[in-house]
Amino acid sequence: MDLQIVIFQFLGGLGLFLFAIKYLGDGLQKVAGNRLRNILDRFTSNPILGVLVGIVVTGIIQSSTVTTVLTISLVNVGLMTLRQAIGVIMGANIGTTVTAFIIGFDVGIYAYILMAIGGLILFLF
């Protein structure tokens, strides 16, 4: 492949990425406002809570990159502080590690126990 094509594709992709982050941040600021700021302050005021939020969000959306980009966008528009963002990003990285660790388990050993627990929860709640 030609080096010039690779360089242009890289720069074009980087420009598109930065463009998307800018518009994501502007959209979040217009839509969210004070309500999102209050929610973020409540759940990320403590660094340990921020790490837990990062782990949970990464576990839900299965992407630490998306969690990190959203966090950076929130800091960029002023809805989060850098101190809050550090905890969330650390949690996102821990969440990715935990997800990979869970995939590495041999779940077949625990399958019957997990199905029994799931059945109990289903019938009791």
The model's pTM is 0.65
pLDDT for res 17:
84
* 83 contacts 40 by C-beta, under 8 angstroms: no
* Chain segment 37-75, per-residue pLDDT in tens: 788 888 888 889 999 999 988 888 888 888 888 888 888
Burial of 94 (0-12, 13-18, 19+ CB in 10 A): middle
* 58 contacts 87 by C-beta, under 8 angstroms: no
Confidence at 6, pLDDT banded by 50, 70, 90: very high
